[in-house]
Structure 1
């Protein structure tokens, strides 16, 4: 199925039923599996035989879902996790240990920012945050001998700034580093970062991949293209005493990274997606192409409405011609720029809260990316743990509203926004 379009892979990928098997990918709600011989189990645990050992490590339903997402992203394999946070954590820990260093961009989702800034620091992993406006030379000045990766988001959350994947992948590779990209907002339907040089792609599948606000989950996809034998990654090249001294690069070749993610960190930390969540999210992906087209077209229409609204101070949506990211969006998001809009209500925090409280169709939830329209005030909610300075560095102003545009009738969405904006000024 490697040559099929992403639209077709949304529906057909991951599972190829044989005659007499169910057309819908089956749910294996089981923790354990039966084997025929003792040697078979030993071979599984020695990683010399493919198969399922225990559902904390792998499961047939998860395997179907992982194969689909890997195919959609153009990668060689994927690992599903219990959340987007755990996907980003495992993606980094696979390469980093106490004493290592990473570079991350500062316009990340608040939860990812705190995870990278504080929790990784607790693990002894230091981070240097850089800005999308920094020059290549400025970023390269932060690279050290113990730097292991560069991390960013295709579309920043909530500021929706577009990440120049090709530029930063070239910079990373020039310095022997992999580029890890969180591709949650665009999904592989709108953008495939691997096509532009990214090495590892992560997702919070909780958002658009599921699409219906039913399941928390995450995914890590390995491009299989990065050279882990360049001298920086002895965590993948050196013998692992926990698996009788095997070297991941020697044994698993281009799948070294994703194999270690699964058999070390997923096994030991247990951040496993449940089979039922994988089953439901897999069904959600079947309509991903249709939903992303509608989210994107609705969002562009709403963004144009907001841009000319007298009660709105500013609007950021990448495919507005007035956007500073317009050219990047046309390059990386030619099918659409997803459903997230950032805009500022004229006034400040109180006017923003009054706007949110006046909405009738759109709902106030700590979530984005499902079929319904949602709003949030990042400065006082999702990013409230960041200092004012860190908020501004991430592009979060006090009057910012994060609007996740759903697939409802766009005229009705606009009508609701208009009446709430009018009330915000009273």
Structure 2
């Protein structure tokens, strides 16, 4: 191939992959093995000492997973990536490198309900403290910064509301505070938004959603932008100080602009153990090959459905940044010009009971707790994904009692609209 930089669709099919050197297989094989043979004792010692790259044990790395990691890193514009067992696992591994007991991180209040629960409750047992900020009020991030702040966490497109976060504005706050910006890019995928282009230092995904795209495999991934200097200010000893388990290596010094990805692998994945199955990596790789085609269809369908709902008498409000009337439309035009995503919410005039009733009457939409499937999905967050929150917190996170969340698939839009019409009419 020439020296020109491949386009997004080409990278989605080819990045990280080559024909198998032994068999000639064109599709990336599933290396379904726990461990790998060393060439000799010196080779084994160099791998365990981080003096050479290679395969040791599938909990730490696997050739199928490596293709997935290289592909997503290429699509996001990062220097390296690490695949793990789920999106939640990605968040744990990332923050383990950054936070010590008693430290804080700032998170946007509009997040997936599972992340709110993880940050509020599960992370307390590690001594990691979350401080909430309002993504519609950038100054709230600045006010939340303290000497204990070690990171800022946002979603590019927030779940469930579908609102767009001003990544560049939050990045400016993070730079001023001297901390990395972590962006969950699950709902956008790099086809719609590449957070690193707008100042993100770390990107995470639930691979389960749009990247895999078919609702058949769970996974997560961490992408290192290679943009943050971990040695500044003495805030990040996991990366800047000598590591006793690796004979005093300083990861920042040794690995430079992909040190964070290495830390996540050799200090996080190695010891915490949330390894991604090579079979799931294979399934997700297959899904990524059609990501550009799927995401455009998702977005086109979502806009058509949102426009229909906006004109329905039973609907009180529609929150979709792709609508010209939506308050996030200007941010959508800036960050996601190809489409505002496929996940959004709408409010019903009948409130909580109407939301619960609607999901039971839909026939083509599947009522389940997932997004990013080829199939269209529906859920009532207040009674499910956000049920652990009190009413005030539900409203703040975009999951009020009247709210229904849709994840629009790639079916014919006319069929989706007809299903919603009959359920709303009933």
TM-score, shorter chain, exceeding 0.5? yes
**Aligned twin of 1:354:** 357
Q: 1:178-232: per-residue Cα shift (whole Å, max 9, x none)?
A: 1000000010111100011101000000011111111000000000011112112
Give the corresponding residue for 1:309. Answer: 312
Q: CA RMSD in A?
A: 1.2
Which of 4, 7, 10 is equivalent to 1:8? 10
TM value normalised by structure 2: 0.97
1:21 Cα deviation after fit: 2.1
The counterpart of 2:251, out of the listed 240, 248, 252, is 248
Structure-to-structure mapping, 1:26-425, within 5 angstroms: 26-136=29-139, 138-231=140-233, 232-423=235-426
SS at match of 1:277: helix
Whole-angstrom CA distance in 2 between matches of 1:175 and 1:6: 33
Instruction: Give a deviation string over 1:21-76, Cα, whole Å, max 9, x none.
Output: 22111110011111121111111000001101110000000000100000000001
Range with bigger deviation, 324-333 or 353-362: 353-362
Kept after mapping to 2: 8 A contact 1:6/1:188: no
Measure the CA separation in 1 of the matches of 2:406 and 2:4. 35
- Larger deviation, residues 180-189 vs 19-28: 19-28
Aligned residues: 422
Provide the secondary structure at the position in 1 that maps to 2:232: coil
Please give the per-residue CA displacement for 1:272-301, whole angstroms capped at 9, x wherever unaligned: 100000001000100110000000000000
- Could you say what secondary structure the match of 1:141 adopts? helix
Superposed CA deviations along residues 241-275 of structure 1, whole A, max 9, x for unmatched, are 11111111111111111101000110001101000
Partners of 2:380 and 2:116 lie apart in 1 by 17
Cα distance in 1 for residues equivalent to 2:135 and 2:410: 31
Out of 18-27 and 60-69, give the one that drifted further: 18-27
Structure 1 CA distance for aligned equivalents of residues 39 and 264 of structure 2: 28
Deviation of residue 323 (structure 1)? 0.5
Please give the secondary structure, in 1, of the residue aligned with 2:173: helix
Task: Provide, for residues 152-195 of structure 1, a one-character-per-residue CA deviation record: whole Å limited to 9, x for no partner.
Answer: 10111101111101111111011111100000001011110001
Q: Note closer, same or farther for the CA distance 1:18–1:82 as it changes in structure 2 (3 Å cut).
A: closer
Distance in structure 2 (CA, Å) of the matches to 1:406 and 1:18: 34
3-state SS, counterpart of residue 106 of structure 2: strand
Tell me by how many angstroms 1:97 deviates: 1.7
> Is the 8 Å Cα contact of residues 311 and 421 (structure 1) preserved in structure 2?
yes
SS of the equivalent of 2:121 reads helix
Q: Which runs of 5+ in 1 are unaligned?
A: none
Mapped to 1, the partners of 2:249 and 2:352 lie a distance apart of 56
Deviation of the 1:18 alpha carbon: 6.8
Q: In 2, Cα distance between the equivalents of 1:323 and 1:11? A: 34
Q: Is the 8 A contact 2:93 2:264 kept in 1?
A: yes
Q: Could you list the runs of 5+ residues in structure 2 that have no partner in the other structure?
A: none
